[in-house]
Amino acid sequence: MIRIFLSLFLIAQILVAKPADINASEANKTESNKTKSSIIEANKTDDQNLTSIAVEDLKKQILAIDSSIKDNVWYLQYKNYQTYQELIKNKISLEKELKRVKKADEKESINSELRVVNEQISLLGEYENSPFTSMLDADELTSYEKIKSPLGILYALSYIKQIMFERDEYRVNLASLGTLIDRLSEKKNLLRSILNYIPNDQNISKDIELIQVGLNELRAAKATGDSTYQVYSTKIEDRIATVRSDIKVQTKRAINVGIVIGFIIIISILMKFIAKKSIKDNERFYMTNKVINFINFFIIIFILLFAFIDNVSYFVTFLGFASAGLAIAMKDMFMSMLGWFVIMIGGTFRVGDRIKVRKINGETYVGDIIDISVLRMTIYEDVTMITTKEHRRAGRIIFVPNNYIFTELISNYTHSGMKTVWDGIDILLTFDSNYQKATYIVKNIARQYSKGYTDIAKKQMNKLRSQYSIKSPSVEPRIFHFFDAYGIKISVWYMTNSYATLALRSTISGEILEAFRKENDIKIAYPSQTLYLKEKDDLARHVLQTQKHETNNEAKEELA
């Protein structure tokens, strides 16, 4: 605009100038030319500044594009491919130059460069062919095994998730390729804009050519990838439809199995309700409830086994081999399960029975069975003679493994409906006591307080004789006399309640003691000492006698 304005201004000056002034204007012509030249130079400077600013702005945009695509996997792949091609060209050039040169030092330098180039080529050997072949290949679909039981539903859902992830991953890669193409196209346009300001810049022209070659490669790869994705996506959709069909079938099957199991549970609950109404005995109801639970559990296990396992024979074979190893590693557990089966079938022990269990180390426990599970019996420890003498505590819950019935001694105080056991009391009298009178008193007291239990025992014993061969079924109180080292021992035996032996023992002991106190000729032996005061020569004999009495007293304490 400035140049046009100056031109018009000069033309107007010429047209309006007077003839008289022609010489003056010729005189000023040189000065005007100088002014015009200075203005043109100023305009050129302004144009150069504007061009420089525009070029710098374009270069900043190009740098931003380079920064955004530097981590793009497709761009990195193509750059490596370009680097490989450049190395091949450099290798050919070096080989030609090696044939041309004659000097040894120059040949050595070229050979050194050639070795470096060959090493770089070997490192980038995978980029010899098309750079995008491996990235455009879609992964083969993971093999799918048709699910044949409801247990495979989770596997099928996981399989669908996996192949959908693979498809999405391929789509994301293609989107990344499209983004790279757009950014390179934008960069090419920016370089062309720079070339308009700097027409003779060969480097920019070369960059445009390289970008165009890259765009051609990338667009061809994008077209191939799009077609591959369509085929790959179609395969995945077909596979997903097949898997969902299998899931639908197995879901219906699982619902049917659930309905059957629910029906069985309802039947078991109904049976328990009927048993509770019809069975009044708590022990019988407890055992019936256990049997119903056991049968219900195994029916459900068999239903699940045949419904969820494709080939039951394989499962049985596997269990055969597995059980061989487990039988050794878990011997005690299997023995306990077998013991539970024997207990349930044989009826040796029942819930409510009072038993005595002896461990290998000799410890003994007495208590009532409160539960019988597959692996153990649970007993509640009561106050008995054993707890008073050995443990000095009671009321503990003791767990007895069922395998103890094969290896340890377990006594049942209430087997087969028996509610009574024999219990006995030993009394040591002095040698000068009237033991016959003492025997009569003790026997009457025992008969009096144990009469009720004796009658119960007679009825129970008659029932027991139908199951076992019992030679001596007498349950009347029994009394025995024995010579002891330090007196006469009277041992009385009587029937008592299996669950309360200490109570009757305490009552009978108190009555015997009161009866003996009323008799002058009956004396209970107890620890005593005798002191003899005679001549000194009998001192040794006195000492021996005293020691003997002390020994006797200790023995009497044990007997008492």
CA distances from 240 to 147, 168, 386 (A): 13, 14, 72
What pLDDT sits at residue 441?
92
- One-letter amino acid at 152 equals G
What pLDDT sits at residue 445?
93
DSSP calls for 216-258: HHHHHHHHHHHHHHHHHHHHHHHHHHHHHHHHHHHHHHHHHHH
Distance CA 292, CA 288 (A): 6
Tokens matching residue 526: 């107890």
Q: What letter does residue 175 receive in the DSSP assignment?
A: H
Same fold: 311-413 with 420-525:
no
* Residue 390 vs residue 545, higher pLDDT: 390
% of the chain with per-residue pLDDT over 70:
79
pLDDT exceeds cutoff 80 at 554: no
Lowest mean pLDDT among 46-55, 161-170, 233-242: 46-55
The Cβ-side half-sphere exposure at 474, using a 13 Å CA radius, reads 5
pLDDT band at 512 (very low <50, low <70, confident <90, very high): very high
* Residues 123-138 pLDDT 10s: 777 666 666 766 777 7
pLDDT exceeds cutoff 60 at 220: yes
Lowest mean pLDDT among 39-43, 50-54, 173-177, 490-494: 39-43
Average pLDDT of the residues of the chain: 78
Q: Which of 346, 332, 497 is nearest to 400 (CA)?
A: 332
Task: Give the pLDDT mean for 503-508.
Answer: 91
pLDDT exceeds cutoff 70 at 451: yes
pTM passes above 0.95: no
Q: What letter does residue 524 receive in the DSSP assignment?
A: B
Task: Give the pLDDT mean for 276-291.
Answer: 76
Task: Say if CB 419 and CB 550 are below 8 A apart.
Answer: no
Most confident of 55-59, 445-449, 532-536: 445-449
Task: Give the pLDDT mean for 200-208.
Answer: 78
Distance CA 434, CA 337 (A): 58
The C-alpha R_g of the chain, in whole angstroms, comes to 57
What pLDDT sits at residue 530?
62
Alpha carbon 160 to its chain's center = 25
Tokens matching residue 331: 């011997």
What pLDDT sits at residue 251?
87
Class of domain 420-525: alpha beta
Class of domain 311-413: mainly beta
SS3 label, residue 348: coil
* Residue 197 vs residue 549, higher pLDDT: 197
* Residues 28-74 pLDDT 10s: 555 555 555 555 554 555 556 667 777 788 888 888 888 888 888 77
Q: Which of 245, 248, 246 is nearest to 147 (CA)?
A: 246
- Which residues, 6 or more positions from 74, have their beta carbon under 8 angstroms from its beta carbon? 132, 135, 173, 176, 177, 180, 218, 221
What pLDDT sits at residue 559?
43
CA distances from 167 to 153, 218, 224, 247, 343 (A): 21, 21, 16, 21, 61
Q: What stretches of 119-177 adopt beta strand conformation (E)?
A: none
Helices (H), strands (E): how many in the chain? Answer: 15, 8
Alpha carbon 533 to its chain's center = 86
pLDDT band at 542 (very low <50, low <70, confident <90, very high): low
Task: Give the pLDDT mean for 381-405.
Answer: 85
Domain ranges of the chain: 2-63, 71-131, 142-294, 311-413, 420-525
* Residues 302-356 pLDDT 10s: 787 777 665 556 556 656 666 666 666 667 777 888 888 888 887 788 888 898 9
- Which residues, 6 or more positions from 84, have their beta carbon under 8 angstroms from its beta carbon? 121, 124, 125, 127, 128
What are the backbone angles phi and psi of residue 379, rounded to the nearest 5°?
Answer: -120, 150
pLDDT exceeds cutoff 50 at 20: no
pLDDT exceeds cutoff 50 at 293: yes
What pLDDT sits at residue 9?
42
What pLDDT sits at residue 323?
65
